[in-house]
Structure 1
């Protein structure tokens, strides 16, 4: 996964790669954007877990709108929003965001799916791992897992200096 910031229009607002990876690792959710079956845009906010390399895992129902769209058009983007602070007096907003581009995979092995469920439990319910693992096993037949492999990502941020 390559950090590519040279296409960001506002070069004065680039986020360093270390902070972008921190957001990828620690954020609770992101927005998966894809092309719908009919060719229109489709985006959905969801929880995810990063594998520490170049992929994220997302859990979902065994069938549904996301899976239909991804079956037809697997190329996606994923947006993570970090800190946001509205500054009404300045008519602006401080923000952080990371956008990743990649390809979604929806037909994973049972072993990879269970490993992904464990990663999700580790991240989203760290104080309840034992119960979460058992729950994952019992509900395994009611879930699907999407893996998104990213090829590149970029980060952008805006901070407003405090007036003296």
Structure 2
């Protein structure tokens, strides 16, 4: 990282940012070499990022063709026009994405997603679970960055 003064080295602070944010931006690139960035709701659990998606589509096609992905989140964003800067806290992730095959793991992650994003008492029917993929990003690099000046 060029700006070492903005790097977050505390792993718990990086995890805290990932746990606080609700939307992340998934960057993929398929066989056609066309990049795509997609906003996704996610959960951060056990050092991995998980999100749900349909059973087919460009995002999934890209992941199957090239599992190397980028993922980023940002929070506490405040533009300071006087100082001509932006205050923020962010995390950038490099990792390998794969569809979760284990029915038990899939159900566990769907429960985490429901707990985080759905109304109290909501649940996922077997029918909905059957037409939902869960993708895991196993992070190979996590970089936190902030500007609080």
TM value normalised by structure 1:
0.83
Question: Does 2:138 correspond to 1:149?
Answer: yes
SS of alignment partner, residue 86 of structure 1:
strand
Per residue, is there more strand in 1 or in 2?
Answer: 2
- Alignment correspondent of 1:43: 37
Deviations 1:107-163, CA, capped at 9 Å, x for gaps: 5122221111001112223x51x322xx34341122111111112201111112xxx
Q: CA deviation at 1:106?
A: 1.6
Cα drift, residue 91 of structure 1: 1.5
The secondary structure found in structure 1 opposite 2:122 is helix
Closer/same/farther in 2, CA of residues 16 and 107 from structure 1, 3 Å limit: closer
Find out whether 1:24 has 2:4 as its counterpart: no
Pair 1:67-2:60 in alignment: yes
Of residues 102-111 and 148-157 in structure 1, the stretch that sits farther from structure 2 once superposed is 102-111
The size of the alignment, in residue pairs, is: 148
The Cα RMSD (Å) is: 1.5
Q: Is the Cα–Cα contact under 8 Å of residues 114 and 122 in structure 2 kept in the other structure?
A: no
- What are the Cα deviations for residues 13-43 of structure 1, in whole angstroms up to 9, with x where unaligned? 1224222110112210111111133012111
| Correspondence list, 1:69-108, <5 A | 69-108=62-101
Larger Rg: 1
TM-score w.r.t. length of structure 2: 0.91
Contact 1:13/1:156 (<8 A) preserved: yes
Please state which structure has a larger fraction of its residues in helix.
Answer: 1
Return 89-98 or 72-81, whichever deviates more.
Answer: 89-98
State the alpha-carbon separation in 1 of the partners of residues 50 and 5 from structure 2.
32
Tell me, which stretches of 5 or more residues in structure 2 are unaligned?
none
